[in-house]
């Protein structure tokens, strides 16, 4: 088996790998486990990244320690069937190149994956960068800029997937097919460029799944990739096993 016959498997994080939105989960470290109205009211659609920067600053001002934030991320529960899927992938690592693309943040995602022992599965975690400032506060920045009108200002997953494929092609890596596991509208954006040899795994009845169905209702055959909806990630593990048996 050469390294060139792998599938590229892309995962989203929030409400895909984990069963919650990690930005919402982390609020429990705030005093009284909720954010004040004045802070919540600063949220603007499409500018979640800037909002989370303010949330982390508020945590720091209130004396919340980085260890408290990490402890919350580590305990966010995995989605149904996700441990089964990850155990399958550990056994078949030679057949998949696995990356994670998320609009959450690197610190939270890595804390969670390391906590559960799955961090080494991922070749790359692509998310909004985090750092500690001079006060020891957690800070978050935008991942990049782009021109996609559908996506939040700080991240377009279609641009990320396209750039990743170009980078790997330059390194001589060709993939047998693309596989994408997600739930949100920003996961729909990259999947529209997939071809009939690719597979999308939208979480059933979540925005990604609804957008795929809407596109298909409007004009049948416009969404090219195979669609395998899931409520439990066991379904994904079974599908991937069958895929390997065929190839």
What crossing angle do the helices spanning 106-116 and 66-75 adopt, rounded to 10°?
A: 60
Residues at the binding site for Mg(2+) are: 12, 14, 183
Distance, in Å, from the CA atom of 72 to the CA atom of 163, rounded to the nearest integer, reads 32
Please identify which of the residues 12, 24, 37, 133 carries the catalytic annotation: 12
Residues at the binding site are: 12, 14, 23, 103, 183
Residues at the binding site for substrate are: 23, 103
Residue 189 CB coordination number (10 Å): 22
Determine whether 234 is an active site residue.
no
Determine whether 133 is an active site residue.
no
User: In whole angstroms, what separates CA 126 from the centre of its chain?
Assistant: 8
Write out the catalytic residue numbers.
12, 14
């Amino acid at each position: 088996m050469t390294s060139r016959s792998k599938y590229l498997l892309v995962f989203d994080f929030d409400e895909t790998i984990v069963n919650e939105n990690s930005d919402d989960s982390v609020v429990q470290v705030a005093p009284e486990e909720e954010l004040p109205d004045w802070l919540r009211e600063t949220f603007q659609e499409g500018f979640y990244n800037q909002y989370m920067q303010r949330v982390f600053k508020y945590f720091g001002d209130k004396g919340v320690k980085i260890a408290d934030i990490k402890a919350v991320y580590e305990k966010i529960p995995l989605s149904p069937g996700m441990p089964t899927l990850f155990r399958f992938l550990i056994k078949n690592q030679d057949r998949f190149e696995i990356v994670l693309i998320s609009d959450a943040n690197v610190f939270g995602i890595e804390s969670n994956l390391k906590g559960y022992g799955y961090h080494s599965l991922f070749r790359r975690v692509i998310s909004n960068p985090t750092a500690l400032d001079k006060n020891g506060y957690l800070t978050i920045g935008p991942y990049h800029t782009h021109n996609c009108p559908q996506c939040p200002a700080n991240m377009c997953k279609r641009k990320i997937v396209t750039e990743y494929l170009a980078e790997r092609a330059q390194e001589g890596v060709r993939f047998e097919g693309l596989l994408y596991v997600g739930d949100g509208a920003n996961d729909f954006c990259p999947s529209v460029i997939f071809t009939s040899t690719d597979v999308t795994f939208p979480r059933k009845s979540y925005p990604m799944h609804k957008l795929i169905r809407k596109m298909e209702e409007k004009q049948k055959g416009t969404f090219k990739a195979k669609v395998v909806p899931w409520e439990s990630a066991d379904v994904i593990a079974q599908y991937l096993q069958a895929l390997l048996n065929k190839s």
